[in-house]
Amino acid sequence: PGQVAAGLVTVRFDAVTAPDLAWEFRPLVDAVRVHPGEQREVFFRATNQSAETTLGSATFNVTPTKAGIYFDKLQCFCFNEQRLRAGETRDMGVVFFVDPDLLRDPDTRDVRTITLSYTMFRSHRPDRPSAAATPRSPAGRAAAAAVN
């Protein structure tokens, strides 16, 4: 962020949870209006509705696609796995700005609404190393067995 443009852009938020993750996941606001170049923070709320601790990872997309290069996330819960205990609720932030060049680019001059969408997936951590992580040499396997 740096120079703040005079124009306004609406940024909408959307959240979906994968069927195998028993979380409620949603944005706390549906949309914000920002001046390109202005840094903003919004929050998404996740609640683990299962009876066990689970891990989630979020992927995102920006539409329209042509505006994606002008949408910059400085901090995001999507950069890390999220661990929620049974019944736990957490508000998770994303800090972003829209690059003012969006208003100057002939291909995006008409864009006044951007949608940031997240899908939260269940993360699976293997309890043991995968076959690809197993050392190939007999000495390496012996060393790995000694550690485990």
Beta pairing partners, 1: none
Token duo for residue 66: 């042509």
Average pLDDT over residues 94-114: 95
Residues 27-52, buried b or exposed e (16+ Cβ, 10 A)?
beeebbebbbbbebebebebebbeee
Average pLDDT value for the chain: 87
Distance between CA atoms of residues 148 and 53, nearest Å: 24
Q: How is residue 132 written in tokens?
A: 């690809």
Looking at this protein, which amino acid is placed at residue 114? I
Nearest 5°: the CA angle 126, 94, 118 is 60
pTM for the full model?
0.80
What are the backbone angles phi and psi of residue 76, rounded to the nearest 5°? Answer: -160, 140
DSSP track, 60-113: EEEESGGGGGGEEEEEEGGGS-EEE-TT-EEEEEEEEEE-THHHH-TTTTT--E
pLDDT in tens, 34-90: 999 999 999 999 999 999 999 999 999 999 999 999 999 999 999 999 999 999 999
